[in-house]
Amino acid sequence: MTDTLSLSSSRSHVPLIERYRDRLPFAPEDPIVSLQEGSTPLLRAPVLSELVGASVRLKLEGANPTGSFKDRGMTCAVSAAVREGAKAVICASTGNTAGSAAAYAARAGITCAVIVPDGKIAEGKMAQTLIHGARVISLAGNFDQALKLVRELTESHPIVLVNSISEFRIEGQKTAAFELHEDLDGELDALCIPVGNAGNITSYWRGFCELGAAPRMYGFQAAGAAPLVAGHPVEHPETVASAIRIGHPVRGEDALAAAAESGGAIRAVSDEEILAAYRLLASREGMFCEPASAASVAGLLKYGAGGARRVVCVLTGRGIKDPQTAIEHNGGSVIPCAADIGAIEEAVLGPHPPGLQPAEAPAAPPSAAAR
């Protein structure tokens, strides 16, 4: 490897806590549980940029080791748990926190239990959580009920809660804002981000505030699970974006404060808008994210950039985590084919099935609508 190569690639080999130790609650002698998280790519999005009339980039948080942004917070939460001598961690989860907690607990050699809403977590997330050896409890209830129950449980048992109620999670996740600030030399006007339990938008805003930066924070909830837009908890949240199927976000107040203080907003996008953005990202930008992540782009397309010139959309998780939704909503179909050259010719060269057509471009968003 040449010097230049080793220099430019070295950052990704530094565990997140080491990279930002001076800004995180860890001393040099503390034990660190790391899977080399963070230092994720920031990808230009030419198609989106053209559509919204701004320079749009995608922060690829799915490039973290377990495929979502949760790893930034989890390296901190699990390292802190190990520092305290904990033997077990637990979380309620719509899937990604579960996968991340399970992986970091495995790495640390401690026990992990996760409580997930029955039948409502994507297949890839269930698979990774199980293979890491976590105890998976499928609750006859939703995420909000699961979180209430684990909070109660950890009050009377020596198990560390690693949901984003934990300050360590927020501390770890704020590092994504540091990376954006560095990568863009502080030149960022607006951030678009999906909102579920509202820990991530809270974290970014904390990170930006620590740097004295103030991009407008635009948070997007799924319309069927939009308590922060409605102004009250949602009893039965529903959305195709299972990761953000949350009706009572524990960091809701912080998220509203982040939006208000930055001059941004928390808004809703429909499942149809989420799926349209999901397909557009995959078919035009070459980026396969999970449906919840596409809410950030759906929001940008719906409400516009509000006059912002430089925008980042956070793609929080990898598409491959939720194969079922991609298979059900890709708009195309698999072509069956007999094993002979005539059939192959027809299949390859014949009329395009819908999924092979260039994706339809959504209407341009209102240019100054994101007030």
Would you tell me which residues interact with ligand F0G (CB under 6 A)?
Answer: 68, 93-97, 164, 194-200, 243-244, 290, 292-293, 316-317
| Closer residue to ligand F0G (CB): 55 or 198 | 198
Closer residue to ligand F0G in complex, CB, 55/280: 280
> Tokens 């863009």 map to which residue?
184
Minimum distance, C-beta of residue 309 to ligand F0G, in the bound complex (Å): 25
- Cβ-count burial of 91 within 10 angstroms (0-12 exposed, 13-18 middle, 19+ buried)? buried
> Shortest gap between Cβ of 44 and ligand F0G (angstroms)?
21
| Nearest distance in Å: CB 353, ligand F0G | 29
Q: Are 110 and 162 in contact (CB under 8 A)?
A: no
According to DSSP, the residues that pair with 149 across neighbouring strands are none
Residues 23/178, Cβ–Cβ less than 8 Å? yes
Closest to ligand F0G by CB, 16 or 195: 195
Nearer to ligand F0G, 40 or 96 (CB): 96
Q: Partners of 55 in the beta sheet?
A: 310
**Nearest residue (CB) to ligand F0G, 264 versus 317:** 317
Cβ 308 to ligand F0G shortest distance, Å? 21
Q: List alpha helices for the chain, DSSP H.
A: 3-9, 16-19, 46-52, 70-83, 96-108, 123-131, 143-156, 167-173, 175-183, 199-211, 227-230, 252-262, 271-284, 291-303, 323-328, 341-349
Q: Shortest approach of ligand F0G to residue 255 CB, angstroms?
A: 7
Identity of the residue, 82 or 246, whose beta carbon is nearer to ligand F0G in the bound complex: 246
Taking residue 343's Cβ as centre, other Cβ atoms within 10 Å add up to 14
Shortest CB 24 distance to ligand F0G, Å: 18
Query: Could you tell me the smallest distance in angstroms from the CB atom of residue 10 to ligand F0G?
Result: 28
DSSP-derived pairing of the beta strands 42-44 and 55-60: antiparallel
Rounded Cα distance between 218 and 206, Å, is 15
> Is the Cβ of residue 201 or residue 301 nearer to ligand F0G in the bound state?
201
**Least distance to ligand F0G, CB of residue 363, Å:** 25
> Would you state the structure tokens that stand for residue 126, as one six-digit string?
């269930």
Minimum CB distance to ligand F0G smaller for 283 or for 296 = 296
Compute the distance between CA of residue 4 and CA of residue 9 in angstroms, rounded to an integer. Answer: 9
CB of 188 to ligand F0G, least distance (A): 19
Shortest reach from residue 172's CB to ligand F0G, in Å: 12
132: CB partners within 8 A, 6+ apart: 99, 102, 103, 105, 106, 112
Given the complex with ligand F0G, which of 178 and 278 has the nearer CB atom? 278
Q: How many CB atoms lie within 10 A of CB 149?
A: 15
Are the beta carbons of 204 and 212 closer than 8 angstroms?
no
| Tokens (6 digits) for 152 | 């109660």
50 or 167: CB nearest ligand F0G: 167
Distance CA 369, CA 300 (A): 10
Closest CA to 146 of 199, 218, 197: 197
For residue 107, give both structure tokens.
Answer: 């790495």
